[in-house]
Each structure stands twice: as structure tokens, then as C-alpha cells.
Amino acid sequence: MKKMKILIDCDTGVDDSLAILYALRKPEFEILGFTTGFGNTDAVQAAENTLRLLKLASREGEIPVSIGENAPLKGKWDGPVVHVHGANGISGVELPPSQQKPAEEKASDFIVRLARENPGELTLITLGRMTNVAKALEKEPGLPKLVRSLVAMGGTYHAPGNVSPVAEANIAGDPEAADIVLMAGFDTTIVGLDVTTKIHLTSKTFADLREYCAPENRPIADYLVQAFIPYRAFSRDSDGNLDYCPMHDPLAMLVAIDPSVCLMRRLPARVECGDGLCRGMIVTDGRNQHMDAPYANICVDVDEDLAINRLFGVFL
Ligand code: BDR
Ligand code: CA
């Protein structure tokens, strides 16, 4: 089996952790590295969480974790999203510490090196702000030609935003970086709120995971059950949901290996970087060809049951 080489850029919070554990259990992925950034938590804590997840999945010491940017290209970071992801980014769950230390190499240098060492083979999967990739582009403008593709969880096409009427957290958290990345000419796929909010993870999803997980995945299932309790409660209280949370980052990870779960439109896309109401909005041009921007694959619909079954199937 030819594996898909990936680098995961994350701000390891609750939904990132499900995406990471799925990737670690999906044999078709060859994870060459992790890079971390600010967002749900800071870049150092995100690396710490990632290292502990590697240990949880019995993969300690196998995959480098490199720390990246702790602030957007312009302006300041508002700080961790404690009310959604808890004080440590993973709902306060205390996973056993890992012996593995973060890599010495900075995230942007690591991205460039991996891309050069694997020309045409590497897929970048971004689950947070795109700041590390934007910094890597500064160092290697030829990055889009060196990597195979880029899959990003972020933005929204027609669904309401989650940090403003029109903007999603990962893009709004560093609009300048996101626009640089969209304009750079990667083979880009955007997995945004139109599809991630159509996936409903319920108490039954996690009860089933606990009941049917393979014995070797018991610690993973126990962790996920615990970490998602406050995350689902936040979703219920803030969005008026009855008993579910959306599934953001894991869907991007799934789409990277299994794009058939989503319906996509191919449209020119870039990000509004002005200071007004629409800051951080992804602007697509449905008229085709009028806007001077590279085309991106924008996920517009998803098969919810298929996505949940394929995602959680790796733990059974
Ligand atoms: C995105 O923001 C973060 O809270 C999540 O981890 C996800 O990447 C959803 O808007
Ligand atoms: Ca994330």
C-alpha cells in the first residue's frame, strides 16, 4: 500500500485531538511531522498535548513535533479559548506526560525541509491558523510546487461564521496568513463550517465508541469520551443544540484521505483582510474567473453518516 505522506499543523484542542488520533490510527497515512501554533491554546501547550496524544496512541518518539508561531502576522492573539477547549486545550484532561521532547527546529523551517525532502509527495493538513505555512512560504516561495496539496479546516462558504457573522476562527485568527496561503497557488481544499457543522457528534456517538472500540484503543476511547463532554456542553449551551457538537478538524483529516465524503465546488477564493465587519471572511467568486485568485476546492456538502462511520471506524 502506498501511504499518503502528511504533515499536520495543529493548535491541539479537543477536536484537533480527535483528528490527530484518527490520523495515528489510519494505516494509509504516513505522518512525517506535526507543527503547532496558537489558537485553541498556545503553540507550546499545543505541542505538549500532541506529544501526550502520541504516547496515548503508543506512538511516542516516532513522529517529530515542532513548535511554531504564537501570534498572527498582524496584530495580537486574543489568547487561548479556555471556555471551549479548557485550560490546557484538551478539556483539562491530564494525559500521562511523554518522554519525547519537541523538535529543536522551528515549525516553518521544518515544513520547508520536509517539503524539499519529499518533492511532490507531501500533503499539508492545517487544523488551525495558517501562520506557520505563511512563514514557510516566506522562506520557500516555491512551496506550492514542492508539496502535493494542502487541506485546511477553516472558513465558511455560505454557512454563518463562528466568530463573526461571516468568519470562522482559524481564518479570522490570522486573515493575512490565510490570504497569503490561498494566493500562493497550492492545490488547496477548504473544509469549512458548511460541512463541519453538518456532522453532529452526539452522546450516542461516544457511547458507541466506548462500547465497540477495539481493546487496544480503550485508552483512546476513554480520553475522547472525557474530553468531549465539556466541548459538547459548550456547543449545547451556545448554539442551542440539543445534544451534539460539530466535527471540525477530524473532517478535514478525513477529507484529506477520503475526499468522496464531501461535495466540492472549485472556485477562486481569497480572504478579506480589511478591518471592517467582514474581516476574516473567505470570499469566493461564484461567477468563475472574474476574481484574480487561484482556484480552491471548497467543500459545500457532506455525507454525515458516511463521515462519522469512516472516522470512528478506525477505533473499532
Ligand atoms: C476551528 O477552530 C478551533 O477551535 C477548532 O480546533 C477548529 O480548528 C473551528 O472553527
Ligand atoms: Ca484546530
**What is the percent of the chain where pLDDT is above 70?**
99
Catalytic residue status for 243 = no
- Give the type of residue at 165: P
- φ/ψ bin of 79: left (φ > 0), alpha (ψ from -120 to 50), beta (otherwise): left
What is the tens place of the pLDDT at every residue in 232-259?
989 888 877 678 999 999 999 999 999 9
Nearest in space to 41 (alpha carbons), one of 94, 86, 103: 86
What ligand has the least distance to the C-alpha of 153?
A: 1
**What does the pLDDT average to over 83-100?**
96
Rg, the chain, Cα only: 18
Q: What are the beta bridge partners of residue 269?
A: 284
Q: 217: CA distance to ligand 2 center in Å?
A: 23
Amino acid at the residue 283: V
Map residue 222 onto helix, strand or coil: helix
Q: Of all atoms in ligand 1, which is nearest to the CA of residue 193?
A: 10
Q: Which H or E run contains 5?
A: strand 4-10
- 98-123 pLDDT per residue, tens: 999 999 999 999 999 999 999 999 99
Q: Which entry of 9, 85, 248, 249 is annotated as an active-site residue? A: 248
Residue 289 has pLDDT above 70, yes or no: no
Check if 248 is active-site: yes
Distance of CA 264 to the CA centre of its chain: 18
Tally: H helices and E strands in the chain: 13, 11
Cell numbers found for residue 3: 501511504
Helices 218-239, 203-212: inter-axial angle, 10-degree rounding: 180
Mean residue pLDDT across the chain: 96
Per-residue pLDDT, 288: 66
The minimum-distance atom of ligand 1 relative to the CA of 84 is 4
Pocket test for ligand 1, best of 199, 248, 299 (most atoms within 8 A of CB): 248
Ligand 1 contacts (CB < 6 A) are 13, 15-16, 39-40, 81, 127-128, 153, 162, 168-170, 248-249
- From the CA of 14, give the closest atom in ligand 1: 6
Give the angle 155-66-149 at the CA atoms, nearest 5°: 45
pTM of the model: 0.97
